[in-house]
Structure 1
Amino acid sequence: MKWSLAAAMIGARDLCELARVAEEVGFDSIAMPDSVFYPETVSADYPYSPDGKRMWAPETPMPDPFIAMTAMAAVTERLRFYTNVLKLPLRDPLLTAKQIATMAVMSDNRIAIGVGLSWIPEEFAFTGTDMRTRGTRTDEAIEIVKAVCAGRGPEWVEFHGKHHDFDRLMISPAPDRPVPIYVGGHSEAGLRRAARLADGWISVNVPADELASAIGRLRELRLEHGRADEPFEINVSPTGVRDRDGFQALADIGVTEIRVSPWYLYGADFTSRTARLDAVRRFADEFIGH
């Protein structure tokens, strides 16, 4: 079992210190969210709350994950970093692959990428991208990133798809180990995408019984795609789990990494730098050490 620190909504100037402490106390990785901007008016409901309302204020800090991960990697030696999740269809896949490849090389292969689609129509409208084709474009973008970051260093790659089409090109630097790609989402389409294309799956914040259901479906889909015997990460953020037995039960059903924000677990003020760091140390003492 690996332990991941979810660093959502943390100020940019506090992240490097948080990463150093997380590494010191035994966390394996840090997960960084992706939010390009906060539209004043949103024409769709937030899918992960009962009333469809977002639970954060417009001025809540959401540092660019690639810049934040690079900065934290520079002040740590062992800790891994990944996006949870990068809104991939908002971005050009070749430019994204270039950034990921550079981060992987500079961090000595401590970078992974979790990807998702985005639920906000305004994000697509304001970035000039098409929300209707987000699923198929994400599939193609995953394949492009995997080709550039295949783990064989710089090499010629090409891609000819419905939405993205380019002849042989080389991106350098490129990592000497494959960059893991994880897919987020609980929908049937998201689970199928993870089972078919990805190295793992990332959950949203849901109770353990919902996680068990999704993990069971992932097993069925991976078998269907002939990938049941391949390594596959199951990265989850369980709500309502607060003791070792609960975490152990998740490991027993196939979870490989648990993502936590300890300050919420202990009711600490997450806007307080001291309270956050104390919560990280307390969680490590109570759980990671055991």
Structure 2
Amino acid sequence: MNVGLGLPISDPAALLDWARRADAGPFTTLALLDRLVYDNPEPLVALAVIAGATTRVRVQTEVLLAPLREPALLAKQAATLDLISGGRLVLGLGIGGREDDHLVAGTDLRTRGRRLDEQMAVMRRLWSGEPYGDGAGPIGPLPARPGGPEVLFGGFQPAALARVARWGDGFLAAAPPSWAGGLIDTVHRFWKEAGRSGEPRIVTQVNVALGPEDVVTDACAAMGAYYEFTGMADRMVSGMLTTPGEIRQAIAQYADLGADEVMLYCYGRDPEQVDRLADAL
């Protein structure tokens, strides 16, 4: 089982410390979430810096809100990062549910799923080296990975799960083991119905904080602030895992569900969590 880290967003200056520790440890991937109207680092910019400071770990958006972005430029940015990092980019994509993000971006919240499908058609074409069309030629550079970086889709609704088979390479299941299994089974069903060969890559996610009480308190406060808009922040924070035993148990449960990788998402800022989590594994 591969294990990656979701990086905290509240202290961008500390991310290189997190990245270097993780690159020297057992972790496979470093990820950053995406919001527009929030005090978080822009993920593609931040992951480019992280990729330059590391040599081994993959860098992943978890998830990038693609409908907020213009597809040709996004394709170019992703291809550039994938090429320069030696094929280490994993592009996790989602549609975003915050009205303020779409308001600022000038995009329509109601049509964000359809827009993502349209974006994927454009990006897949550009990553293959084909012309943009309408009088415009190819948009390079070509990514390191033929056909484009690995694309994972997050989401919970049937349309999002079906998108994995239509356009993606795998699924980001940001759900506890108790109900991630149903989502994973549905993704596999759509994959087979679409006639896709092989299997989708399954990446799961669980929120963790490991360390003294102040580390856990910091993580709970940051996570609660991030999810305040849902009206269920307390419920979500209560699911955070805070002991090595809980974390190992969750990883084992995800392994039983057929996951290929578990992302341990950290909201607490203390970079020494990297070493504590490595020891816990």
In the superposition, the TM-score normalised over structure 1's length comes to: 0.78
Which amino acid counterpart does residue 165 of structure 2 have in structure 1? A
Shift >6 Å, 4+ stretches: none
1:163 alignment counterpart? none
> Mapping of 1:1-290 within 5 angstroms?
1-38=1-38, 61-150=39-128, 155-158=129-132, 166-177=134-145, 178-204=148-174, 206-227=175-196, 229-238=197-206, 239=239, 242-261=246-265, 270-271=268-269, 276-287=270-281
1:75 to partner: Cα distance: 0.9
1:212/1:240 CA distance change after superposition, 3 Å: farther
Unaligned residue ranges in structure 1 (runs of 5+): 39-60, 160-165, 265-269
1:92 to partner: Cα distance: 0.4
> What SS is found at the alignment partner of 1:25?
coil
Deviations 1:32-74 (A, max 9, x none): 1111113xxxxxxxxxxxxxxxxxxxxxx41010110000111
Identity %: 30
- Contact 2:35–2:101 (CA<8 Å) still a contact in 1? no
1:221 to partner: Cα distance: 1.2
1:188 to partner: Cα distance: 1.2
1:249 to partner: Cα distance: 2.8
1:12 to partner: Cα distance: 1.6
> What SS is found at the alignment partner of 1:277?
coil
Instruction: Write the distance in 2 (CA, Å) between the matches of 1:136 and 1:125.
Output: 17
Instruction: Write the distance in 2 (CA, Å) between the matches of 1:286 and 1:103.
Output: 31
Instruction: Give the length in aligned residue pairs.
Output: 243
- Contact 1:156–1:168 (CA<8 Å) still a contact in 2? no
1:286 to partner: Cα distance: 2.1
- Contact 1:146–1:179 (CA<8 Å) still a contact in 2? no
Deviations 1:219-278 (A, max 9, x none): 111111112x3242111113566243442231122101101036x7xxxxx23xxxx222
Instruction: Write the distance in 1 (CA, Å) between the matches of 2:156 and 2:135.
Output: 35
Which amino acid counterpart does residue 167 of structure 2 have in structure 1? L
- Contact 2:188–2:199 (CA<8 Å) still a contact in 1? no
Unaligned residue ranges in structure 2 (runs of 5+): 207-238
> What SS is found at the alignment partner of 1:86?
strand
Instruction: Write the distance in 2 (CA, Å) between the matches of 1:131 and 1:167.
Output: 30
- For the aligned residue pairs, the C-alpha RMSD in angstroms reads 1.9
Instruction: Write the distance in 2 (CA, Å) between the matches of 1:149 and 1:277.
Output: 35
1:57 alignment counterpart? none
